[in-house]
Amino acid sequence: MTRVCSILLALLPLALAGDSHIVLKPIDASSTAPARLMVFIPGGKVPNTHYINTSLAIQKASDLNLWIVIPSVTKRVCIIECTAKSTTFCAPLHHSVDVAVKQAVADGYAGTDPHFLAGHSLGGTCANYMLQAYQDQDKYAAAMIFGSYVDETGPGNLFNFSVPMLTLGAELDGGGAKPSRMTLWWNQFQAFATAQGMQKAVEQKPVIIVPGMDHSDFCPGFPVPGDLPSELSQDASLALIGSHAAAFLSLHSDQSAAVVQKATALLTASIGVTQAMLDPIIQALNMEVDGGEGLVGVITANHSKWCEEAQKIMVGADLAPHLLPIDTYFPVAPDPPPSLEHCHNNYTLDNSTAVPMLKTTTCSHADYEKGTQGPNTEVNAGAHQLACKMISRERAAQQLGMPLIGATGYTGEVKNACQIINQAAIDMGMAIVAKGAPATMARYKQKGRTFCLGDDFNAPGNIGPLWVKGSIKMSDNATCLSVASLSDFSGINSKIYPGVHYCKLLSPARVVEWIYTNSMLAPSK
């Protein structure tokens, strides 16, 4: 603590005049460990002095004689100095880093290249950009991004990234690096492990989310707007950041077999914790679109499991055992077809089995939200809405020769049928989290807002194309996440596409995301 105070006092005049480059010498000047240097790019709007304690925690945990420089950036927003992944647009940040490193050399750093690079939040984005822009010039040994991530797709995604990369996140991050969003890079880590083996994946591309931590724990003393409150003390969170960062650096420096073994064990254990944390989210995402669309970027899905389940719920518990729904998923809506608009339901009755089965086709499409404020901005992982074209209960009863009046108690159009399916999505999401992440469910029950389901509403004139272009009503308020579905029903005697019931639905993945994070964020209104 004495060393921290002396550093802060020394920097106080500079901080009052504006940020300056910070150089932190190794904690133990007499150490014979290898001397290495790490550049730490600060997050957006965060004074770089707020990364001193984080840097000291990494130094303290490290088996290296570690120097750390924290450069100053224009208006405390590094993206101003590195707006794109090219030497043209990232030259100012590259210059700032060079100046900071030269200051460390002037202060006595005489270690060997290559250096390490780290960044928090927006600083992680800038680190990502600069690494790609200068990868042929700057041979960084490894990089770490905290509460951030690399590209979603292409050569700069985690799987393909040319530099070993630790992605370290926080369970209670309330922004773009919240757990549901981090499933994308977790899936890329898993794909890398499948291709290269788990041992190499732990060494080269580990993705770890620390339980109980929040986004602001990486810059102690600076509360990041929109963040959830941490459940850890500052000392505890800094110790976890330091130990994980130091372990990763140990795997990319000259260390003894014992140090490497200890570092590998720590990262491997934390990866196991992360897998357990993310598994319920991934389960729910794979239900909305098999294989995922919103996060993966490359469409591998051809059906929606939830639309198939929704079709069974639509016809009721008495008819569902006789139904065999098969969904076709439409990832985009091109013109001309194929598209969701031009997909129409079909059905075939199979009497060859002991129990008559009605084979049906459903049509689905998921709409995902996109960030509007530039790279690495907050978006939701779960679909904003899941569009499902289904046959009606009336049609199923007619084809099966079974009574229309069943468990639902309705004839013709089932009243609020989409709402019934939305309630099933809530029940499904709750069950997934309660089983896979009981601590998360307990936190939600204590702190989270609930769900409010409104009545179904119709597109003007019950016109199908207007339903396709229309949207679910979804908003969060001080009480709940309010949801009402856009519905389109056509009776079996209709002259236009008879016997169908369409719904814009709440996705189980959005339910799980609400439980994990969104229900505890400040309401939008």
Residue 357 in domain:
yes
Q: At residue 10, what is the residue type? A: A
Last residue of a domain, one of 242, 260, 278: 260
| Strand, coil or helix: 262 | helix
Q: Is the pLDDT of residue 358 over 60?
A: yes
Q: What is the pTM of this model?
A: 0.91
Residue 135 in domain:
yes
End-to-end CA distance of the chain: 43
Cα–Cα distance measured from residue 454 to residue 356, given in angstroms and rounded to the nearest whole number: 35
Mean pLDDT over 97-113 rounds to: 93
Residue 506 in domain:
yes
Look at the alpha carbons of 515, 517, 519, 525 in this order and tell me if their dihedral is positive or negative. negative
Residue with token string 């106080």:
12
Cα–Cα distance measured from residue 257 to residue 269, given in angstroms and rounded to the nearest whole number: 18
Same-domain status, 50 and 147: yes
Same-domain status, 347 and 203: no
Same-domain status, 311 and 422: yes
Residue 278 in domain:
no
Cα–Cα distance measured from residue 176 to residue 154, given in angstroms and rounded to the nearest whole number: 19
Residue with token string 């070993």:
164
Cα–Cα distance measured from residue 237 to residue 232, given in angstroms and rounded to the nearest whole number: 6
Contact 383, 292 (CB under 8 A): no
Tell me how far the alpha carbon of residue 516 is from its chain's centroid: 11
pLDDT of residue 331: 79
Q: Is the pLDDT of residue 453 over 60?
A: yes
Strand positions, DSSP E, 266-356: 323-329, 347-350
Same-domain status, 207 and 63: yes
Same-domain status, 365 and 437: yes
Q: Is the pLDDT of residue 508 over 90?
A: yes
Cα–Cα distance measured from residue 156 to residue 170, given in angstroms and rounded to the nearest whole number: 22
DSSP string, 206-230: -EEEETT--GGGGSTT---TTPPPP
pLDDT of residue 12: 37
pLDDT of residue 32: 83
Cα–Cα distance measured from residue 325 to residue 357, given in angstroms and rounded to the nearest whole number: 10
CB burial string 385-423: b at 16+ within 10 A, e below: bbbbbbbbbbbbbbbbebeeebebebeebbebbbbbbbb
Question: The domain that contains 85 carries what CATH number?
Answer: 3.40.50.1820
Cα–Cα distance measured from residue 403 to residue 366, given in angstroms and rounded to the nearest whole number: 33
Same-domain status, 208 and 303: no
Same-domain status, 209 and 324: no
Whether omega before 13 lies within 30 degrees of 0, making that bond cis, reads no
Same-domain status, 250 and 303: no
Q: DSSP letter for 48, please.
A: G
Stretch among 67-71, 272-276, 325-329, 449-453 having the lowest mean pLDDT: 325-329
Residue 165 CB neighbour total at 10 angstroms: 24
Same-domain status, 108 and 197: yes
Mean pLDDT over 333-337 rounds to: 51
Cα–Cα distance measured from residue 420 to residue 449, given in angstroms and rounded to the nearest whole number: 20
Contact 387, 505 (CB under 8 A): yes
Q: Give 167-209 pLDDT, tens digit per residue.
A: 999 999 999 999 999 999 999 999 999 999 999 999 999 999 9
Residue 112 in domain:
yes
Residue 348 CB neighbour total at 10 angstroms: 11
Bridge partners of 326, per DSSP, are: 361
Q: Give 131-142 pLDDT, tens digit per residue.
A: 999 998 998 999
Q: Give 37-95 pLDDT, tens digit per residue.
A: 999 999 999 999 999 999 999 999 999 999 999 999 999 999 999 999 999 999 999 99
Tell me how far the alpha carbon of residue 371 is from its chain's centroid: 12
Q: Which domain holds residue 455?
A: 289-520
pLDDT class of 368 with cuts at 50, 70, 90: confident
Cα–Cα distance measured from residue 145 to residue 124, given in angstroms and rounded to the nearest whole number: 5
User: How many domains, in total, are found in the chain?
Assistant: 2
Cα–Cα distance measured from residue 487 to residue 24, given in angstroms and rounded to the nearest whole number: 61
Contact 223, 113 (CB under 8 A): no
Residue with token string 């004689």:
65
Mean pLDDT over 241-249 rounds to: 98
pLDDT of residue 403: 76
Q: Is the pLDDT of residue 122 over 50?
A: yes
Nearest to 295 by CA among 234, 370, 236: 370
Same-domain status, 222 and 302: no
Q: Is the pLDDT of residue 165 over 90?
A: yes
Residue 464 in domain:
yes
Q: At residue 201, what is the residue type? A: A
Residue 276 in domain:
no
pLDDT of residue 17: 37
Residue 525 in domain:
no
Contact 104, 71 (CB under 8 A): no
Compare 511 and 17 and report the one with higher pLDDT. 511
Sheet of 480-484: strands edge to edge?
450-453, 480-484, 473-476
Same-domain status, 330 and 475: yes
Same-domain status, 497 and 407: yes
Cα–Cα distance measured from residue 426 to residue 450, given in angstroms and rounded to the nearest whole number: 10
